[in-house]
Structure 1
Amino acid sequence: MLKLRLQFFIVMLVIFSLLTTGLYVFIKLSFKQDFWKYIEQKETRFAQPLIVDLTKNFHEQKSWEWISDWESYVVAKLESGTREYRKANPKQFGDPIPEPPSLAPDGTLIHQEIIINEQTQRMFREWRRMPPMFALRFIFLLDADRELIAGKKQDLNEAFLIPLMDENRVVGYLGIPYNPAVRDLQDADFAQGQEHKLSLIILIALVIAGLASFPLAHLLTKRINYLVRQVNLFSAGNYREKVSLKGHDELTELAQHLNNLGETLERSENTRRQWVADISHELRTPIAVLQAELEAVEDGVRPMDSDTVTRLISHSQRLKHLVNDLYELSLTDLGGMTYRKNTMDLASLLQESVNNMQPQFSLQDIELKLSLPNSPVMIFGDHNRLQQLFVNLLKNSLQYTNAPGITLVSLKVEQQQAIISVEDTAPGVAEEHHEKLFERLYRADSSRHRTTGGAGLGLSICKNIVTAHEGKITTGNSELGGLKITINLPCAKDHL
């Protein structure tokens, strides 16, 4: 398996290689195309007067039949065009203009005594731009189909073909043979030499890219290794260790998220341990009481009468309720609690739940009151789960309200929400304990003692049921002096 560092190195090296190769191909083609275009423009610049006159005459005559003595026409037109250009640009060439040196028929310069000065040197440079006389004789003219009209037939691959345009269409081509010096540039030695130099540059660029890729890959993987080390610490159960990366990139942000994850895992682990300890303690209490009662009967300390049986049944019922609550809570956590929802009247369900609990409240000398709206309150929910919710809330109030006392249940509709509140008289719960009341096995022991209630799982189950119905449950202080629990449930859309 390739290390991440090596993978980074290979990827970056491949990218640099593709980049340099692309540059090599682009520069090679671009240089060849632009260079020969420049050569063509330079070598054919002297023929501009001829091109202008040919185009003008064709436009007037609408044919090439007016051409008779082609060589004389070419020489005369090029010489007159050169002189007109010099007269139009006196500052460039100076004035007066010396006569050009005479040329022999073979194109060589006939010796003349002339004064060599700066102006003459400029003139010679301009004359040297003109091709020799033998080259002028090989200038030829083609029609639009590249058929020869005037001049000597030449190899088209050995000449520059300049299109002649009339009314946005090609009417012919002026052919100018390559300068022998220009053809020499196309030799294989020159081309190969240029390719060798370009290849050497590309090779150097690849070496530099390789040298730069390795430390860059090392820098990236070094920071990633810190993150891998942190994950390994989490796997080993060490959540206190923090990773610190400097910077403002995604890896730094990931490091911060890992630190936050470590804190969350640490809290979850502490909660899990406390959860196991609390469950063990809750289960031990009724089992120990049952065992003590049975041993007392066995030893003859307590008679096996109806009172003893009643106490044993009471302790076993408490143990049964604890186990049932744990089972219900585990179902809600795992998503295993089933919900069969349909449109129902919440007011009717609340009335039914209060009627069922009324006898138990009367036995404890606690008055149970109910306030309902005049019209039905329709919601989309599970009848059995919502009844379980209301019974748990009423039992919680019954267990933690001093007698004589009052428990008030009310229902109202505000802003498309059904609001149910259950509040009771003293004792109350301090505000710092309100948010923790829905935690498993939690009690505010300062006012609600273990001897008066269950294991502290009822409100956790209530919260899960409310959440499953897309609602919200909160706690607060009641004006009656005790605790107030408020539930918000969305009303059915068909009855808004």
Structure 2
Amino acid sequence: MRRLWVKLFSVLVLANIAFALLLYWGFTLTFEIAFRNYLKEQEAQRFTPLATALAEIYQTEQSWQWVLSEHDRWRELMAEYIVRPGDTNRPDRPRPSSDNAPFNNPPPQNDDSTVQRPPPRSTFTRMRHGMNPHILLFDQDGNTVLGNMQSPDTIYRFPIEKDGQPLGEIGVRADSELLIAMQAVMDNHNNRRLLLIALGLLAVSSLLALGLTTWITRRIFRLKQGTSALVRGRYDHRLEVRGKDVLDSLGDDFNELADTLDTNRTAHRRWIASTSHELRTPVTILQGQIDALKDGIRPVTPTYLDDLSHDIHRLNALIDDLHQLSMSDVGALDYQKDDVDLVELVGDELAKLKTALPEGLTLSWYPPQDLDVFVLGDDRRLTQLINNLMQNSLRYTDVPGSISISLRVTKSQVTLIWEDSAPGVQEDDLSKLTQPLYRAESSRSRTVGGSGLGLAIVQTIVDAHNGQLLAEPSTLGGLKWTIHLQRVTSGL
């Protein structure tokens, strides 16, 4: 149990450590994303006026070629609109319009065609004269007009539009050095705080894990003690159940298992005692009769031999019933199922049994109007079921009395209803009637009560046919048996 405690505690602590690391990673990532979004918003505030000015110029020029040829014009735009945060010395200048030079008016032409223009400036020269390497320009198709796209830096893009029509995009590279510096500041400032938070969280969670682990292992230990008690045969041991969680549900199952084992042990002991009694009685009678013959106390007469034969047959019947029940319990009882016409089977068997009815006892049979009622079953076992129910009614029905059998049919089910008149059975005994060797009244003798196995065999036959057997008081004053079987249509 100590090893289980260590494992549970270790798992909970490791889970808390993993959660703390995940929390730190998530906080760092969230802060970095928020910081980048903040920078993008700041850049958007700076570059939106520039995008508006470029849109107005594009309306006049109808292309972006002027950016590559008129470097001074581009430099003036950068000086006009691009100001680093904190720069408050930028002079206020009017926004470019169609009337403002030098934005829209072409440079003056010299009449002297022999005047030579200076050669194109190099890249370094363009950077010195306003071609900021952090600024990029894209046309409406996304092609690069100005700037280098091969840099690994993050580029923020802002649309250039006029009356909702896209004209291009202005791009700006994120300041990698600034991002790295801010990241270093954030790490230095927050790592210590996050470490303290993680250590505090780990300490609190470890205490909670300690209490939870101890609580769970104690309850599991009680279950282990209860299981050990059952192994030692102490079926009266019960667990105290207080809540409704999984372990409490397991405790309920344990108590139910203990009840079942206790009941089965009691039934097993009663079965052995009843079986030995049932076998000892006829054997003792036979032994006494044989001893009387040997000692010459009783003469050998046909009547005396018939009595011996009757006792032997009854003993054999008891042994056969015990064997059938034991075979049914282990699932070895043979059933040969086929489509059986239940109306014909019950009617034929009742016609045979009716001749054995004592005077004053009437038998009523109510077959269904539908004469074709088939079930999938073993006709030998179903015949045995009818005989056992009849023997039970004959033994326990007072004369004058009556026995009523009816058959009800639905589309998918056949119901056999067997009723007899007084005496009845107490309601507490109804659920026990199909237990082997059980008699509802202990005062009944073996001669009246039979072996006590007939109804138990009826139950096994019904179970083997996937049916249902129900005992309840009868309106005739005695006992009512209801048997539900599945109807089949293959025999129709």
TM-score range, shorter chain: 0.7 to 0.9
- Residue in 2 that maps onto 1:334: 330
What residue number does 1:242 align with?
238
Distance 1:161 1:261, change over 3 A: closer
Where does residue 216 of structure 1 map in the other structure? 212
Quote the residue 2:58 is aligned against.
Answer: 58
Matched residue, 1:15: 15
Q: SS at 2:374's partner residue?
A: strand
Q: Is the 1:162–1:174 Cα contact (8 Å) retained in structure 2?
A: yes
Identify if the C-alpha distance between structure 1 residues 60 and 299 changes in structure 2 by more than 3 Å, giving closer, same or farther: farther
Q: Could you tell me which of 357, 363, 368 is aligned with 1:369? A: 363
* 1:350/1:80 CA distance change after superposition, 3 Å: same
345, 350, 373: which one pairs with 1:378?
373
Whole-angstrom distance in 1 between the partners of 2:188 and 2:373: 90
**1:193 paired residue among 158, 171, 188:** 188
1:153-168 aligned at under 5 Å gives the runs 163=158, 165-166=160-161, 167-168=165-166
Task: Pick one of 464, 472, 476 that aligns with 2:473.
Answer: 476
Q: Distance in 2 between matches of 1:57 and 1:326?
A: 110
State the partner residue of 1:4. Answer: 4
**Relative to structure 1, is the Cα distance of residues 433 and 170 closer, same or farther in structure 2, using a 3 angstrom cutoff?**
same
Matched AA of 2:326: S
Q: Distance in 1 between matches of 2:347 and 2:153?
A: 108
* Residue matched to 1:113: none
Give the C-alpha shift of residue 326 in structure 1.
1.2
The change in CA–CA distance for 1:135 and 1:30 in structure 2 (over 3 A counts) is farther
Determine if the alignment matches structure 1 residue 464 to structure 2 residue 468: no
Give the one of 171, 174, 178 matched to 1:173: 171
Q: Map 1:303-322 to 2 at 5 A.
A: 303-322=299-318
Cross-structure match for 1:302: 298
| Ranges in structure 2 where 5+ consecutive residues have no aligned partner | 83-87, 95-126
Residues 1:143 and 2:147 aligned together = no
2:79 to 75, 95, 99: 75
SS at match of 2:340: strand
Q: Residue 279 of structure 1 corresponds to which residue in structure 2?
A: 275
Distance change in 2, residues 1:458/1:198 (3 Å): same
SS of the counterpart of 1:3? helix
User: What secondary structure sits across from 1:308 in the alignment?
Assistant: helix
Q: Read off the aligned partner of 2:78 and give its amino acid letter.
A: V
Q: Does 1:225 align with 2:229?
A: no
Q: Give the letter for the 2:349 counterpart.
A: S
Residue 389 of structure 1 deviates from its aligned partner by 0.7
1:431-466 Cα shifts (integer Å, max 9, x gaps): 554443222212233674322231211011112222
Indicate how the Cα distance of structure 1 residues 208 and 296 shifts in structure 2: closer, same or farther if over 3 A, else same.
same
Aligned to 2:118: none
Change in CA separation of 1:176 and 1:12 when aligned onto 2, cut-off 3 Å: closer
Matched AA of 1:4? L
1:413 corresponds in structure 2 to: 408
CA shift digits 1:111-152 (9 cap, x unpaired): xxxxxxxxxxxxxxxxxxxxxxx9996745433355657xxx
Equivalent position of 2:111 in the other structure: none
TM-score, length-scaled by structure 2: 0.74
The whole-number CA distance in structure 1 between the counterparts of 2:462 and 2:249 is 35
Q: Tell me the secondary structure at the aligned position of residue 452 of structure 2.
A: coil
- Residue 74 of structure 1 aligns with an amino acid whose one-letter code is M
CA distance in 1, matches of 2:149, 2:489: 92
Question: 1:235 Cα shift?
Answer: 2.3
Is the CA contact 2:439–2:452 (under 8 Å) kept in the aligned structure 1?
yes
CA contact (8 A) 1:438 1:463 kept: yes
CA apart distance, 1:262:
2.4
Q: Structure 2 counterpart of 1:253, which letter?
A: S
Distance 2:311 2:248 in 1: 56
* 1:169–1:41 CA distance, 2 compared to 1 (3 A): same
TM-superposed CA distance for 1:158, in Å, is: 8.1
Alpha-carbon distance in structure 2 between the residues aligned to 1:280 and 1:471: 30
**Percent identity for Structure 1 against Structure 2:** 28
Return 197-206 or 57-66, whichever deviates more.
Answer: 197-206
Aligned with residue 439 of structure 1, among 411, 435, 440: 435
Letter in 2 for 1:347: V
How many pairs align?
438
Change (3 A) 1:81 1:327: farther
Using the alignment, how far apart are the partners of 2:459 and 2:364 within structure 1?
22
What is the letter of the counterpart of residue 193 of structure 1? N
CA 52–77 in structure 1, closer or farther in 2 if over 3 Å, else same: same
Deviation at 1:299, TM superposition (A): 2.7
Q: Over aligned residues, Cα RMSD in angstroms?
A: 4.0
Deviation at 1:387, TM superposition (A): 0.5
Query: What is the letter of the counterpart of residue 5 of structure 1?
Result: W
8 A contact 2:40–2:156 mirrored in 1: no
Tell me the equivalent position of 2:287: 291
Name the SS for the 1:29 alignment partner: helix
Please, what TM-score do these two structures have when normalized by structure 1? 0.73
Q: Tell me how far apart the structure 1 counterparts of residues 136 and 479 of structure 2 sit (CA, whole Å).
A: 108
Query: Residue 117 of structure 2 corresponds to which residue in structure 1?
Result: none
Cα shift at 1:226 = 2.2
Equivalent pair of 2:421/2:478 in contact (CA under 8 Å): yes
SS state at 1:324 partner: helix
SS of the residue 2:136 aligns to: strand
Gaps of 5+ in 1: 86-133
Letter in 2 for 1:398: L
- Per-residue deviation, 1:291: 1.7
Please state how far the C-alpha of 1:382 moved relative to its aligned partner. 1.8
